[in-house]
Each structure stands twice: as structure tokens, then as C-alpha cells.
Amino acid sequence: MLVAIEGMDGSGKSSISKEVAKRVNYKYVDKILKDIYLIPEETFDNLCEQVNKSNNETFKAMFYGFQNLLVTLLKGNIIIDKHVLATYFWNGYDENEQLFNIFVNNGVIPDLTIILYSSIETRIKHIKLRDKNDKDLFDDKKTSFGYDKMLDFAEKCSMPYIFINGDPLSFEQIISQIVELIKVCELLNKEEFLKYCMQRNIIVFQRDEELSKKCLGRGINNEERKR
């Protein structure tokens, strides 16, 4: 089973992904291309930095989307930190929508995606704790909202995802929720689990109308999604 933990920079997804993988005895995967081809960490980071400097969003989407597809080919139970939602947030645009459709049609969607929400203020606080001079603090896109775009893609693809508002929760509470969700996913078939995800997400957004408007571009009872 493939579980992706997604969220904006500073939401805590990396630390949470590693801890969840330990507790459920899944393999933690971060940089699949580096691992497969045994590329040294510094070399791979430099490669990604050069790719990110490109102005061609389709090229970048292909680079990261290919890695998203590679993860789906791995055997066993996997926890991945960042996956196709992150790729779409950074590199998904109208002009390369067909490319993302190809990814989806070739099985890029994980069995379970956790979208870990954290407010901009909380994320900036987390990044500063990591390093008060972290370059991410000066990147407008990394400190932007972002969740509306991720959720739009998840909904369009009928992705089995669970939205977790991490702001009021402790690290341990988030871990416990995700571990329990993985257990549920293991028990249900795809259709049952997708229905379970939809029902759970509705409850989450009904509890917080303001968060619903921010993330979905609408109130939970409105019919139209803001594009």
C-alpha cells in the first residue's frame, strides 16, 4: 500500500512521515530517484536545484512526476513524504494539464493521501525553529496558502484523501490519527474507503466554515467551487 503525506512547507510532514512509517512498519521514502540510482545526497540536491531554476514548468512537472510514478512501482508498504499533490502545486498549470492526466491514468494516485493542513503563521514559526535564516522564509510561494490548489486537484482526480487540520493538534495526536487511518484503509476496499474519506472530510469542513472557504474556495453548503 502506498500512503502519501502531503502539505505545504513547514507543516511538519517530513517528521510525521518518518514517525508514522516506524509505527506501522512501512518503508519511508523521500527521494526515490536518488535511492534507485544511488546518487549522492549533495549531487541529487544540486540536480533538483538546477531543475527548479528552469522556467519550463512542464519540464519540471515531468521531472518530479516521473519520480511520483516510480514510487507507485515499489513493492510493499510505503510512506512517501510529498507526492503528486506537491508536484501539481509547484508545477501544475492549464498548459500542462494533459501531462498530469497521463500521470493519473498511469496509476500515480496513492492508496491513501493525507493532506496535513497548517496555517501560514504556524508554518513560518516551524520553519524559523528549523533555521531562522532558512531560505524558505524568503520564498513567497513556499509561504503561500496552497491548499486550495492541492484540494482542487485531489477532488478532480477522485483521490482517496483525508484532510487533517494540524494546527489544534499535538504531534502525537496527528500521528495517532494517521496510524488509525492507515489501519482503516487496510481493511476497506477502494470504493468503501473513498466513501469513508468523503464523509470524514465533509465533517472536518463543516466544523470550520472559515477553513472550508479558504481551502475549497467556498462554504461547505455552496454548490460552486471557486476556480
DSSP string for residues in 144-177: S--HHHHHHHHHHTT--EEEEE-TTS-HHHHHHH
Q: How many domains does the chain have?
A: 1
Question: Under a CB-based contact definition with an 8 Å cutoff, are residues 71 and 5 in contact?
Answer: no
- Domain assignment present for residue 197? The answer is no
Domain that holds residue 67: 2-178
Q: pTM surpassing 0.85?
A: yes
- Domain assignment present for residue 222? The answer is no
- Domain assignment present for residue 207? The answer is no
Question: Under a CB-based contact definition with an 8 Å cutoff, are residues 12 and 118 in contact?
Answer: yes
- Domain assignment present for residue 218? The answer is no
Query: 58: Cβ–Cβ under 8 A, 6 or more apart, which residues?
Result: 91, 95, 96, 99
CA-closest candidate to residue 1, choices 147, 130, 187 = 187
Cα-trace Rg, the chain? 17
Output the tens digit of pLDDT for each of the chain's 227 residues: 999 999 999 999 999 999 999 999 999 999 999 998 899 999 999 999 999 999 999 999 999 999 999 999 999 999 999 999 999 999 999 999 999 999 999 999 999 999 999 999 999 998 998 888 888 888 888 888 999 999 999 999 999 999 999 999 999 999 999 999 999 999 999 999 999 999 999 999 999 988 999 898 744 333 333 33
- Domain assignment present for residue 117? The answer is yes
- Domain assignment present for residue 18? The answer is yes
* Number of residues written out for the chain: 227
- Domain assignment present for residue 224? The answer is no
Query: 27: Cβ–Cβ under 8 A, 6 or more apart, which residues?
Result: 21, 74, 76, 77, 78, 79
Q: What CATH number is associated with residue 128?
A: 3.40.50.300
* The one-letter amino acid at 154: A
Cα distance between residue 75 and residue 222, in whole Å: 42
Residues 98-128, buried b or exposed e (16+ Cβ, 10 A)? Answer: ebbeebbeeebbbbbbbbbbbbeeebbebbe
- Domain assignment present for residue 20? The answer is yes
